[in-house]
Amino acid sequence: MRTIDLRGRELSPSDMLAAVPRAAQARAEALDTAARIVEDVRNRGEQALREQADRFDRVSGHEIRVPKEHIAEALATVDSGVRAALEEAIRRVRLASAAQVPEPRTTEIGPGAVITQRWQPVARAGVYIPGGKAPLSSSVVMNVVPAQVAGVTVVALASPPQAAFGGRVHPTILAAAGLLGIDEVYAIGGAGAIGALAYGVEELGLDPVDVVSGPGNNYVASAKRAVAGVVGTDSEAGATEILIVADASADPRLIAADLISQAEHDEQASAVLVTDSPELAERVATEISERAARTRHAERVAVSLAGEQSAIVLVDDRAMATAFSNAYAPEHLELHIEGAEEVASAFTSAGAVFVGDQTPVSLGDYMAGSNHVLPTGGQARYAPGLGAYTFLRPQQVIRYDHAALAQVRSGVVSLAAAEVLPAHGEAVEARFTDPSSD
């Protein structure tokens, strides 16, 4: 991992953003490629999807719409330990997601003047579940449960066809779908899946959805940008990111293990350590070099950690570490610092904050109850992670009686005249005019 030394520098907010390690070129290239893939699916439907499956997944002639018996078979044969873990994850995520659904609230503006704020679920959601480098059955839970808690009527799921399973979706992903009662599943991968969910594919009986969600690589994230405006999307949850803020009290073994745990996702994954302790930085670098070579996905990890998106960042003090973290706005933020619980509120920009060295990102990936579909690429500065609210639309329902309208009659007419929109005022005046006089 490279080292970025920011010590002794006075950095403005723009300077801090410029210092953030990101693989910007990779994201730019992904956007262009993803947009072409999405447009191809929009124009050529099933044929485009089959060509993409052959090219990217090495699969041909497979059943794109997954038969229900495949789901039932996967559920019947899934490992009992995996099933138990999925069931517990479902329970925990359902509890946490329920807290994200607001109750309707009615406000009386005045006598006879009422506004009700309500949250309506979309009718149809499409969720994407990665299955290339890692078959993320946990992502089925993270996407489907919040949609169900929100009250979504139909959830359609897409995941890549697997050459190792004869073109079927990975059986653990199918089992997770079965546990949640999802039977509309498509064997479609990558950016093409996002395009298919957004525009629909008539030959497959795939109707367009209202919201697309789910994690993936940078191509999947870029495909969401390509369909934004056609459908709603969650934040662009692209290649994973972890940023760890640590001080001299931290355990270098745990930091190294956590950085490697996210680097194993993808060669484009970002792993960043921010510390004011040069000694800790050196010890972490040593631990990484030893541990990374022993891990199963050592080659993938090595590419991720050597990439321009990963680094050890040296800062002067905790204030500078906090400022850097908030500028970076990581998908996952771990705090390995003394008094982490007391200062966590200062770290305002992160998809999720993991407080203390006993709260690793891996916990959030599976069993914490929080959601692991989170914004990447700095979007945590303004965008939330996935939740029940992703599938809800806030609506205001307005109800005035005649007397309440009379109270604001002159105000509406005055403002309409000031904006040179007289028909607006006339629409109100019509309610106070004898119909026979028209």
Rounded to whole angstroms, how far apart are CA atoms 424 and 58?
Answer: 61
331 is catalytic: yes
Catalytic residue among 62, 70, 297, 332: 332
Nearest to 383 by CA among 347, 330, 345: 330
Token readout for 230 is 């056609």
Nearest to 387 by CA among 411, 367, 370, 362: 370
Token readout for 200 is 């629909």
Helix, coil or strand: residue 228: strand
Backbone angles phi, psi at 165, to 5 degrees: -120, 35
- Annotated ligand binding at 240? The verdict is yes
Rounded to whole angstroms, how far apart are CA atoms 141 and 144?
Answer: 5
Residue at 241: amino acid letter: E
Helix, coil or strand: residue 215: coil
**Which residue carries 């040069």 as its tokens?**
278
Nearest to 142 by CA among 93, 184, 176: 93
336 is catalytic: no
Are 26 and 218 in contact by the 8 Å Cβ rule? The answer is yes
- Annotated ligand binding at 424? The verdict is yes
Q: Provide DSSP, 345-374.
A: GG----SEEEESTT--HHHHHHTSSS----
Catalytic residue among 331, 334, 336, 372: 331
- Annotated ligand binding at 297? The verdict is no
Positive or negative, the CA dihedral 252, 255, 258, 263 is: negative
- Annotated ligand binding at 419? The verdict is yes
Rounded to whole angstroms, how far apart are CA atoms 310 and 243?
Answer: 9
- The Cα-based distances of 185 to 155, 195, 391, 434 in angstroms read 9, 15, 19, 59
Annotation: binding site for Zn(2+): 262, 265, 365, 424
Residues flagged as binding site? 240, 262, 265, 332, 365, 419, 424
Active site members: 331-332
User: Which residues participate in the annotated binding site for substrate?
Assistant: 240, 262, 265, 332, 365, 419, 424
